Amino acid sequence: MPETAYDIAIIGGGINGCGIARDAAGRGLKVFLCEQNDFASATSSASTKLIHGGLRYLEYYEFRLVREALIERERLLKIAPHIIWPLRFVLPHHEGLRPRWVLRLGLFLYDHLGGRKILPASRSLDLKSDPCGAPLKPEFAAGFEYSDCWVDDARLVVLNAMDAAARGADINSRTKCVAARRDGGLWRLDVEGPAGRRTVLAKGLINAAGPWVGAVLHDQIRLQTPASIRLVKGSHIVVPKLFRHNHAYIFQNADNRIVFAIPYEKDFTLIGTTDEDYQGDPAKVSASETEIAYLCAAASDYFAKPVTASDVVWTYSGVRPLYDDGASSAQEATRDYVLNLDAPEQQAPLLSVFGGKITTYRRLAEEVLSRLSRHLPSGKPWTSTAALPGGDFHHDGVEDMIRALLGVYPFLTREHAHRLIRTYGSRAELILGGARRMEDLGRRFGPDLTEAEVSYLMQNEWAQTADDVLWRRTKLGLRTNAEERAALDGVMRAGRAASAA
């Protein structure tokens, strides 16, 4: 066997692909991963930004999925406290929809299914007296409050990629697998990236291409799809801040869907999501006028001040590659993951990933490696307690981290220090280095994005374009104008050219 052969080749740089790469590399396997665009450039940056059990899945009797997600919720909070943090959700009781006793029973199960230890339990609310009732219409007099977590989804992906690379994985963005075939007990992949085309050999192949999982099977691997795929589109809108407190809302709707309204980037509210079947190109997905109107109407049913399309400052959409379980509607289709292993005797194995939630990506990775263990022996699971890059501090230690950073770099504003810790955790000092004043960090793009931070992102996190920085590594695109974005793109182009020279 050629010495250059990898143990595992992974197609797809979303949360599942990068999570599998990290786990496999940490077990001593030689890993290759290719992503055709930027990491988290599709579904994995288009979530509702939640690490949650999925309260509504209890109605569909998805007890195993909810329990697994609830267990993962606190595990992920511990290993990535800089980009994941607790969030309390307010569930107003809507007369005429689910009875109050049904909500109470569901929350009781939610509190106890996953062995909750860190997050506080649910409780009843008097919305007439509680501050969380103030933004709502007066008819919402009672409700409940429960716990879940918020996550910077795109950063969760790139942190897994970074840790995989630190453990020896060969991680490649903007590199497409153009063909893959079995050859003498190995997989032979033709991949094309910035350096041109090359061939990669691997003992096993993992298809974690998200919405493209079926296309990879048909077009690159040229196999018949072994399981049905249901593409479900979810869109979100962002509007100026609708309420002053730091709780989120979960709203029931008459069509059995739910919509969240979540505090977002301090000055905004994130509202989503929609659920509708999607037939188009996943790369061209966007929020339709109908979806925007739906989300505005759903929020306006609850908030005293109506939300209109003219309030929307940003939209984003993603396509979930769900396993088609024959559900009658998009919102009823299972969010559980399905792993399909194709391993004919004496041939290299192929494992394809269908569905899944960002909350359960780590368990999915463990299950993938367990399914492949007969073909690729590896070490034991290890990721449940190992911190992701920058997350090596206590789960409630963010304020201490901010104070410590300000002690070393007193020229930072508290808001700037807060953003750096909430983005990079203990790695923030790698950006600031020996700076003694803001000017030492170089040119600014918008309020506090500096040349030093951009350089760090290009050197350590595979950022190559302004969009990589402004919408995936950070969300500063909400605070930069066209001129600042153009200036950033110019600086990054010059930096890429200098690196290539």
pLDDT of 29-75, one tens digit each?
999 999 999 999 999 999 999 999 999 888 888 899 999 999 999 99
Residue 30 falls inside a structural domain: yes
Confidence of residue 330 (pLDDT cuts 50, 70, 90): low
User: Do residues 313 and 245 share a domain?
Assistant: yes
Q: What is the identity of the amino acid at 296?
A: C
Tens-digit pLDDT profile for residues 90-131: 999 998 788 899 999 999 999 999 989 999 999 999 999 999
Least confident of 3-7, 377-381, 403-407: 3-7
User: Do residues 296 and 203 share a domain?
Assistant: no
Provide the CB-side half-sphere exposure for 242 (13 A, CA). 32
pTM above 0.85, yes or no: yes
pLDDT of residue 2: 42
Q: What is the identity of the amino acid at 215?
A: A
User: Do residues 357 and 240 share a domain?
Assistant: no
Q: What is the mean pLDDT of the chain?
A: 94
User: Do residues 192 and 256 share a domain?
Assistant: no
Domain CATH code at residue 428: 1.10.8.870
User: Do residues 80 and 178 share a domain?
Assistant: no
Residue 448 falls inside a structural domain: yes
User: Do residues 426 and 465 share a domain?
Assistant: yes
Helix (H, G, I), strand (E, B) or coil at 63: helix
Residue 341 falls inside a structural domain: yes
Instruction: Work out the number of other CB atoms within 10 angstroms of the CB of residue 13.
Output: 33
Residue 382 falls inside a structural domain: no
Domain end (from 297, 326, 355): 326
pLDDT of residue 336: 81
Look at 244 and 224; give whichever has higher pLDDT.
Answer: 244
Residue 64 falls inside a structural domain: no
User: Do residues 176 and 203 share a domain?
Assistant: yes
User: Do residues 143 and 243 share a domain?
Assistant: yes
Measure the CA–CA gap between 326 and 338, rounded to whole angstroms: 14
Measure the CA–CA gap between 351 and 340, rounded to whole angstroms: 6
Q: pLDDT exceeding 70 applies to what percent of the chain?
A: 96
Least confident of 122-126, 157-161, 222-226: 222-226
The encoded tokens of residue 235 equal: 């869109």
User: Do residues 303 and 316 share a domain?
Assistant: yes
Residue ranges making up the domain that contains 469: 398-500
Q: pLDDT exceeding 90 applies to what percent of the chain?
A: 85
User: Do residues 409 and 445 share a domain?
Assistant: yes
Average pLDDT over residues 223-237: 84
Residue 428 falls inside a structural domain: yes
User: Do residues 411 and 301 share a domain?
Assistant: no
Q: What is the identity of the amino acid at 343?
A: A
Domain CATH code at residue 39: 3.50.50.60
Tens-digit pLDDT profile for residues 292-302: 999 999 999 99
User: Do residues 241 and 316 share a domain?
Assistant: yes
Confidence of residue 225 (pLDDT cuts 50, 70, 90): low
Look at 322 and 35; give whichever has higher pLDDT.
Answer: 35
Instruction: Work out how many domains the chain is built from and give that number.
Output: 3
pLDDT of residue 498: 83
CA angle 338, 107, 325 (to 5 degrees): 25
Phi, then psi, of 297 in degrees rounded to 5? -65, -40
Measure the CA–CA gap between 1 and 422, rounded to whole angstroms: 45
